[in-house]
Amino acid sequence: MKIDMYENWAEVLALLFMVVGFVISILLFNNILSYISVVLAGGITGRIYYLKRHAEPIFPFILIISGFLLGYLLGGFWVNRLVVLILFLVSWWGSYKLHVKKIFVIFKSQRFVK
């Protein structure tokens, strides 16, 4: 069975990020580190969502983000999964709103990159 990466890139990346999320959550034994890592992942996700929301179709990126979150929740044996889900969603929303209000900015100007 051959996988066509041109057509199925979102599904393959979602599976890869599911494995990455699972491995990260398995390796973090400390609850505090797990919560910090999920807040950071939510913040990065909010930034990616802000960048891609109007430029490209958003569904593949939502699929990839959902894959990571599902893998993280499946591997989170030592944490409360509801708290992880709430922290991820709140940090995603917070990061997105901070980007919309231009508190966090994206550097795309010609003068910034030298």
**How much of the chain exceeds pLDDT 70, in percent?**
89
How close are the terminal C-alpha atoms of the chain, in Å? 46
What pLDDT score was predicted for residue 107?
66
pLDDT per residue as tens digits for the range 48-76: 888 888 877 888 888 999 999 999 999 98
Judge contact between 114 and 69, C-beta under 8 A: no
Q: Where are the domains of the chain?
A: 9-100
* pTM (global) more than 0.75: yes
Largest CA distance in the chain: 48
Instruction: Read off the pLDDT band of 22 (50, 70, 90).
Output: very high
Burial of 112 (0-12, 13-18, 19+ CB in 10 A): exposed
Alpha helix segments (H runs only) across the chain: 9-27, 31-52, 59-75, 81-100
